[in-house]
Every structure is written in structure tokens, then in C-alpha cells.
Amino acid sequence: MTKNDAGSAFPHVDISNTYGSEGMSLRDWFAGMAMQSLAGRINAACAEDNGDPIEAARMIAEFSYLQADSMLAERDKT
């Protein structure tokens, strides 16, 4: 099943661009914004209890996309 990525976050038409890059999706942008807040908190918690930094990175990515998906679902309600 493919996730709805809500299309381009920053659509831009450039007729000189023959490769047609659309940039990042709105879902990726939402996840990146969520990641900024989550990363500091999870990394700090990981450091306090000598946790696994790879597991912390996985959790940050997972929670960031959960937040993005929640934002897109809420956006679809209106």
C-alpha cells in the first residue's frame, strides 16, 4: 500500500528543467518539521540512559512520519 504523500510541498514549474523534478512531498516536509522537535528530546533521553543511538534514530524517523501522517489526515477532514 502506498502512502498518500499529498503531492509537492513547494510546487514549482520550470520549463527549462527537462527532468521534471517535483521536489519533496508535503508528507516528507511535515515529517522533517516534526523531526526537528523530536530529535532533541529523543537524543537527550537516549544519552541519559546510555541507549542505542541507532534505535533512537529509528524512533525519531518513525515518530516523525506518524506525526506527518496525522497532520495529513487532519488536513483531509476540512
Cβ pair 8, 26 in contact under 8 A: yes
Q: What is the pTM of this model?
A: 0.67
Place of cell 503531492: 7
C-alpha to C-alpha distance for 64 and 66, rounded to whole angstroms: 5
C-alpha to C-alpha distance for 54 and 77, rounded to whole angstroms: 35
Residuewise pLDDT in 10s, the chain (78 residues): 567 777 777 666 666 655 555 678 889 889 999 998 887 777 676 776 677 778 888 888 899 999 999 999 998 887
Place of cell 517535483: 22
